[in-house]
Amino acid sequence: MSEPTEPITPLSTQLIHHDYQPPDGFGSMQVGVYKASTVIFPNVAALRARDWRSRAGYTYGLHGTPTTFTLEERIATLEGGTYCSLAPSGLGAIATVNIALLKPGDELLLPDNVYGPSREMARSLLASWGITHKLYDPMDLRAYEAAFSERTKLVWIEAPGSITMEFPDLRALVRVARERGVLVAFDNTWGGGIALRPFDLGDGLAVDLCMQALTKYPSGGGDVLMGSVVTRERALNEKLLMAHMRLGTGVGANDAELVLRSLPSLELRYRAQDRTARRVAAWLRQHPVVKHVLHPALPGAPGHEHWAAHCSDAAGLFSIIVDPALPAARIDAFCDGLRRFKLGYSWAGPVSLAVPYDLKALRNAPRHDGHLVRFSIGLEAADDLIADLDQALRLLR
Ligand SMILES: *Cc1c(COP(=O)(O)O)cnc(C)c1O
């Protein structure tokens, strides 16, 4: 019997520190799902030399992996910008921008039809840090100009605005801010990177930052939460990266992979949902109980001419206003009567959704009187959706 020449590595260690290395040269279009909190350095010198900000290498899972770096590059391309940082939700991306760029004493301008939770952030958190905000009517340029002061440091713009869907004069809003040296952040969630080019608005005008809820079109599944901020300016990107690092808002590799998997079909899905939404919106427009259809691509919709100046596409998203004389309970019965349309927030997934909103609670100065229902069109057949609306609308009469 011979003595073993080397000590046998215990199984528990072998299963962790295993010798096998898969062969190099694996080819696939899809990037791997790289997961890490810890990133392994070859030696102390490498550990000390690494700079997380340069993005030339890897330092810690929070600061990026091949999976998240790849997604960032693709989203920067989608938006027509240079640098991208990811956040764990669209609202998280909005928070990153606000925290990166504002300090006590600064003022922020938000459109009256801004994404609701963004306004709530300004009202509560930002206010408690001494950062004030003003709401501007995006359809009233004079009032918008008058809202600027020495303290104004950032303007958020949405086109169209959430839920009531007014499409502002985008170039004019951006021009006024730029003339005053105020940064412009654009929420491009509706445009999805397809309908609008926020970094190239014509007349040499561009926004400074373009944010998107990747939760919506880029994911397209109704099953991921993620946000992005894109800029063309290195100095702005540095500020965003510092805020991101200090807040610790990373995204998971599996979620990043889901968005990467959905990006190739983004344009097809956007156009398909647009087509169906316009058919459904046109059908609703001729329905006797529907007073208004708020869809920026429909002639007569608020800001339709501004939509037409920038876009030929539109998101599959619109709202209807029904007769204010109808009791609210009937609107609820209509929504409950929908079968294909499900009741739920968010949009741009495969399933069509409906949400009733109280106009008076939503706006400082509502442009319409009546009950509002917002629809998000999914990927179902248009005729099927119309038939569903037809049967549910009978409950309103
Ligand atoms: C949904 C949405 C957001 C926020 O996205 P989440 O990922 O749900 O936080 C921001 N802006 C707009 C316009 C949105 O529709």
Strand, helix or coil at 294? strand
CATH number at residue 152: 3.40.640.10
**Do 285 and 248 lie in a common domain?**
no
CATH number at residue 341: 3.90.1150.10
Q: For 30, which DSSP code?
A: S
Ligand 1 pocket member 225 (CB < 6 A): yes
CB 33 within 8 A of CB 68: no
Tell me what pLDDT residue 363 has. 74
Tell me what pLDDT residue 54 has. 84
β-partners of residue 346 are none
92 CA → ligand 1 middle, Å = 9
Instruction: Give long-range contacts, CB 8 A cutoff, 24+ apart: 140-143.
Output: 141/169, 141/172, 141/173, 141/176
All residue ranges of the chain with pLDDT < 70 are: 1-5, 364-365
- What the block records as the tokens of 211 is 């944010």
β-partners of residue 135 are 110
Cα gap 239→356, rounded to integer Å = 38
User: Which of 97, 167, 189, 362 most suits a substitution to test ligand 1, by most atoms within 8 Å of the C-beta?
Assistant: 189
Whether residue 3 lies inside any domain: the answer is no
**Do 115 and 206 lie in a common domain?**
yes
**Among candidate residues 283, 294, 286, 395, the one with its CA nearest the CA of residue 339:** 395
CB 217 within 8 A of CB 277: no
**Among candidate residues 317, 330, 312, the one with its CA nearest the CA of residue 371:** 330
Which atom belonging to ligand 1 lies closest to the Cα atom of 346? 1
**Do 385 and 311 lie in a common domain?**
yes
Ligand 1 pocket member 85 (CB < 6 A): no
Whether residue 29 lies inside any domain: the answer is no
Whether residue 1 lies inside any domain: the answer is no
Tell me what pLDDT residue 3 has. 62
pLDDT tens digits for 186-205?
Answer: 999 999 999 999 999 998 99
**Do 299 and 219 lie in a common domain?**
no
**Do 300 and 335 lie in a common domain?**
yes
Predicted model pTM? 0.95
Structural domain count of the chain? 2
Whether residue 28 lies inside any domain: the answer is no
88: Cβ contacts below 8 Å, ≥ 6 apart: 225, 226, 227, 249, 250, 251
CB 315 within 8 A of CB 191: yes
Provide the pairing of β-strand 317-322 with 353-357: unpaired
| ∠ Cα 158 134 97 (to 5°) | 55
Ligand 1 pocket member 161 (CB < 6 A): no
Among the candidates 229, 264, 299, a domain finishes at: 264
CB 209 within 8 A of CB 82: no
Which atom belonging to ligand 1 lies closest to the Cα atom of 214? 7
Whether residue 119 lies inside any domain: the answer is yes
Alpha-carbon torsion (192, 345, 224, 249), positive or negative: positive
Tell me what pLDDT residue 80 has. 98
Among the candidates 216, 243, 264, a domain finishes at: 264
Tell me what pLDDT residue 56 has. 87
- What the block records as the tokens of 88 is 């764990």
pLDDT tens digits for 299-329?
Answer: 999 999 999 999 999 999 999 999 888 888 9
Strand, helix or coil at 254? helix
Annotate 331-371 with DSSP letters as a single string. Answer: HHHHHHH-SSSEE-S--SSSS-EEEEE-HHHH-SS-S--SE
Domain that holds residue 316: 266-396
Cα gap 171→241, rounded to integer Å = 28
Q: Which amino acid is at 332?
A: D
Whether residue 114 lies inside any domain: the answer is yes
Whether residue 21 lies inside any domain: the answer is no
